[in-house]
Structure 1
């Protein structure tokens, strides 16, 4: 297990501990049990249904080899090279250049690209992007990322409950071990901590997918050039995206470099390009 993989395991455990611990702060042992049951339900739902929801959300349409021969051929070649099952291939009618992979495991995977991406990149660059997405498939990163986003969202929901509990006097409940002070701390700290952990998980997986994708396509320069073009393209034509799913895309689809982007689930594109170019010269 490499460093990024170990970081992922650590942060996923930390996220679950944070979630269950928040339940404990709100309602003692009972709260911890309820939070644990909710977490298990989240995991079950995420495992079976997240891929269908995301594809529908972005209006992705499945394509056959006859409908998109170049795209299909690249995915098929990468799947064979990476010893992976052939994923389903989707196209999203959107001018913003981007791509993502989804699916609970390699046997039930799908890759999707926007029309803007196909029009912007050369064949080698497109292969680099698809190799990155196939690396996500191989590493089951989509399931991991969706799990992290879902649990982080649940933590924020519990923090909202904490606010209402405070308003209605929940801090005096004997099941709450820390009382009002605990609720206030949970309201402030828990959502921020959840966001930071989710960001750390996603960034580690993105770096790893860049590395594995570059090795799979055999051309780190192509992926680096693709990221450079996609970054510029997203700035010109930002994509309307659900904030809960931006971690799945190869590039943050939202425009700008405001304060919110300090908490982006994606590493800085400059650092990603630098690492890929270092691979090429190694």
Structure 2
């Protein structure tokens, strides 16, 4: 009887994981599909070179932000690298959970802020990092801290930083295209009938681009929440 109950619980867990993965894949497919559809429409109506130039610029800025983000996070949260001698138990937890998760052990840091929190971050310039706040260490016992760190390890294993960086690029591209077109449309309204007609077209495409931006942003926020659930499942499994 106990064996049957255990197997049923395992099947429920597996079913829940399948639903979670399907929801993430479906959301990601919707983001990419919608972006591809509307960028194709925009390219067919406007000057391809200008649109692609703006798109490349947005990608460059976002990638640059991703590369330097760890340094900004360290400055804002006043994080510092801690050695095994300073925090042996914390290092042991991170190393053990990283090994169980099959990933390289991230750099362990402590943020000097009283709010209980922990976060995983990093870039190719810095490597992966996990930071816990002094508020978290002072509030929770080490078993609870281990559960929190397991969640952050899940983010690193699932490459959530890279995935969300890529996904957030798509709304950003439509945001800048939309506002650029809407500002450009004001210039055309000052001319003759033909220029005013072009201005109306630019304004319409700009408005649609902003609408797509908001839709994609909602999808991105939903995907981010799903990734949080995915990290929770990982923490519980290890």
Instruction: Please indicate, yes or no, whether the TM-score normalized by the shorter chain is above 0.5.
Output: yes
Alignment of 1:1-282 (within 5 A): 2-7=21-26, 9-11=28-30, 13-14=32-33, 16-17=35-36, 20=39, 24=43, 27-38=46-57, 40-42=59-61, 44-45=63-64, 48-104=67-123, 108-169=127-188, 172=195, 178-187=201-210, 189-216=211-238
Is the 2:151–2:235 Cα contact (8 Å) retained in structure 1?
A: yes
Q: Give the aligned length.
A: 214
Q: Secondary structure at the match of 1:103?
A: strand
Structure 1 length-normalised TM: 0.63
Is the 1:100–1:112 Cα contact (8 Å) retained in structure 2?
A: yes
Instruction: Decide whether aligned partners of structure 1 residues 101 and 183 sit closer, same or farther in structure 2, where only a CA change above 3 A counts.
Output: same
Larger radius of gyration: 2
Residue segments in structure 1 that go unaligned for 5+ positions in a row: 217-282
Structure with higher helix content: 2
Structure 2 length-normalised TM: 0.73
Between the aligned partners of 2:80 and 2:34, the Cα distance in structure 1 is 34
- Greater alpha carbon shift after TM alignment, 157-166 vs 207-216: 157-166
Is the 1:148–1:198 Cα contact (8 Å) retained in structure 2?
A: yes
Q: Secondary structure at the match of 1:169?
A: helix
Deviation (angstroms), 1:99: 1.2
- Greater alpha carbon shift after TM alignment, 46-55 vs 155-164: 46-55
Between the aligned partners of 1:23 and 1:58, the Cα distance in structure 2 is 41
Is the 1:46–1:146 Cα contact (8 Å) retained in structure 2?
A: no
Is the 2:80–2:111 Cα contact (8 Å) retained in structure 1?
A: yes
